[in-house]
Structure 1
Amino acid sequence: MNRIVSCVIYGVIALGVLGLISQLTTNTIGFLKQLAMLAVFAGIFYLIFRLIQGKANPKEQRAFRKAVRQSKKRTKERTIKPKQNNVAKMSSAKSLYKLKARRKSDVQLTVIEGKKNKKKNRVSF
């Protein structure tokens, strides 16, 4: 089955190449006009698509860009490390460990209030 499909695909590609060559040799100017029209229509379609996509929801786009900037800022803060020589590293290893232990997590956690006081109806057997 795969062999038949691949032969058909190669045949269609070969016929397309043969058609392009014959079009170039017999009607070069017409072929170039068709290519130019195709490029113009593709450009118009692209511009319309971009205008529609850009006006979809600018508030979401702004919020997304803001989140990206904050994420980049956080990752940059994590990767920046002060340069120290080996002796300073050995002596300040304990203080760095304490600072890392005290550092707050970047994750924002929220508490969801539930129905804690409501008793459950349970059937006893």
Structure 2
Amino acid sequence: MNASVYNLIFYFLIILSIIGLVSFIAADPVSLIIQVAIGGLVIGLGVLLYKRFINHQSNKNNESAAYRKAVKQSKKRLKSAHKSRAARNSNLKVIRSQQNKRPSSVTKRKNHGHLTVIDGKKNKKKKRMLF
């Protein structure tokens, strides 16, 4: 079938639903309001139950616990780095001999101590609802 035929069927159904809604409002507006309110309550209850039970609260807690642990480790690392810097910058300075110095062509490896890997949802499958 052609796309225009599908469009005609779609618009025909929309027009029929508008006619039915107008006639329902004219016949009994109070029952329409009650049905809309009940439908809203059922949908709201469904969303509430979904967020409460099906939505993975435990995963969120595990991830936030892993994040808090990583922050604690980072703070500890920064504190120890700060203490070691303070010890190096004391009034007593050590003069190194030329033999201990590395050639300037060798690049020093940077220490990225402030970066921490946090385990995420790598291998976990998403639970999807089938309709």
Question: By percentage of residues, which structure has more helix?
Answer: 1
